[in-house]
Structures are given as structure tokens and as C-alpha cells.
Amino acid sequence: MFIVFIGINSRLVTAQPALFENGVLTIPLGAAIVNGEPTYYNDIQLISDIKGNFSLLAAQQSNLVSVDSVSLLINITQPIPEHVSFALTGHKSIPCVELQTPAVFQDEFTFTVALAETTLGPAESCIAVMDPFETIITLPIEGLASGTYIVTVNGIESSFSR
């Protein structure tokens, strides 16, 4: 399964659409489950052949951040919630990078989330010290069947019941 993003940030919406030019499809952000593990990519380039099929030309894999905890946030204001939120704590590899938009995969009663960090440019440098973060992710649950759901963010699990 492969997910393509348009670069949506919870505070500011910025469109970074895919671009098809000279037989190359460029996708700014994307994620996939590879060998059962979530992976996150930037600057994905796919080349098309004469039949319209695409092959991977290039992609830059992003580092997933280290997640320490995933805690369910209870919303008591909505009797039938349309979403569920989780507070995450962890560490980025260095303080000069930002968190990227989470990639969310759902397979029946399991949500898998890939949370990556941006990369430094070729001329940028930064002190090599882990940088703690706290953030919240929200998952849509409207229309989901009743039951217990597992949420895994970069290997750390939590759960909720609907």
C-alpha cells in the first residue's frame, strides 16, 4: 500500500501537488508499508514507459522519529466522537529538523502511523543532539465498526475502543 500526500500541516494548509513533466511524475511526500514496516519518502520520482506504467526513478527516505509514548486523549465533549486523538512524545534526531505530516494506514482494526522528520539541506549543519517533541495526531473514526483498535506509531502501540 502506498499513500501520497499533498503536504497538509494541521496549522497551515499548503499544497504541494504531484507534477507530471517529461514522462516523470514527481510526488513531494509519500509513505508505504515495506516488509510490514512504515516508511516515509520525500521527492519521489516515477518514470513512465510507453504503456503508461511507472517505475521508481528516485526517492529520498526520511528518518522516522523516535516515539517514546502514545497516549489516548479522551474527548468528553462529544457523545459520539468523529475522531480520536493521541498525544505523542519522543525525540527528533537533531533540533534543526521539523516533524512531517503523519502518514496513516488502516487495515481493519489496526492503524499504523509513520511519523518522520524533515532533512537538512546539503549546506546545512546542526548540533548532533536529540530534540524532544510533543505532538497530537487525530484519526478519523466515523463509520468504523465497534471494537478495539490498535494504533502503532513508529513501533509504539496504544489502543482505543469504539
For 57, the grid coordinates are: 526513478
Mean pLDDT in order along the chain per 10 residues (162 residues): 41 63 91 88 92 91 95 74 90 92 92 92 83 93 91 94 84
Residue 13's DSSP bridge partners are 8
For 68, the grid coordinates are: 517514546
Residue ranges making up the domain that contains 37: 2-62
Residues 70 and 143 in one domain: yes
Judge whether 19 and 26 are in contact, CB under 8 Å: yes
What's the gap between Cα 141 and its chain centre? 17
**pLDDT at 14 (0 to 100):** 46
Judge whether 153 and 143 are in contact, CB under 8 Å: no
Residues 74 and 130 in one domain: yes
pTM: 0.79
**pLDDT at 78 (0 to 100):** 64
- CA-to-CA dists, residue 111 to 2, 83, 92, 143, angstroms: 14, 13, 22, 15
**pLDDT at 134 (0 to 100):** 96
Please state the domain count of the chain.
Answer: 2
Residues 33 and 109 in one domain: no
Residues 117 and 145 in one domain: yes
Residues 29 and 81 in one domain: no
**pLDDT at 9 (0 to 100):** 36
Q: How far apart are CA 19 and CA 45, in angstroms?
A: 9
For 156, the grid coordinates are: 509504539
Residues 39 and 13 in one domain: yes
Handedness of CA 28, 58, 63, 37 (dihedral sign): positive
Residues 9 and 79 in one domain: no
Residue 39's DSSP bridge partners are 32
**pLDDT at 76 (0 to 100):** 60
